[in-house]
Amino acid sequence: MTIGQWLAERTPRPPELLAERIERALEQCSGADAGEAAESCSAVGEAMLRRFLAEPPNASKREMALDLLTIDALVTYAFEDSDEEPDAIGARAEGVMMRIAGAGSA
């Protein structure tokens, strides 16, 4: 199974506009093995957050909201995938939190 297939199986499916944003964000890694979903989602979410925080706040409120919802969804999916490996969730959670926290201080 690929990350793209894994993503398509997530339920409930997000609203269409958000689903399109998530799919676009994960486009480059959608063909990778689904076992990499947690790492890919957290890495893409972190990269998006860094770009979001670096941009001047001149985007429309709707675009800003969609960006934040996409970031939130990616991090949520990272944790959801981690839940499928209960022994690894503590380490993954700590890693994701450190990366996200680091994005705000860059």
How many structural domains are present in the chain? 1
- Which single residue is written with the structure tokens 């959670």? 93
Mean pLDDT of the chain: 86
Q: 86 to each of 3, 72, 79, 83, how far by Cα in Å?
A: 19, 21, 10, 5
Q: How far apart are CA 79 and CA 42, in angstroms?
A: 9
Per the structure, the complete domain to which residue 37 belongs is given by: 3-104
What's the whole-model pTM score?
Answer: 0.83
| pLDDT of res. 102 | 77
Contact (CB, 8 A) for 103 and 46: yes
| pLDDT of res. 97 | 76
Taking Cα atoms as reference points, which of 64, 49, 53 lies closest to residue 96? Answer: 49
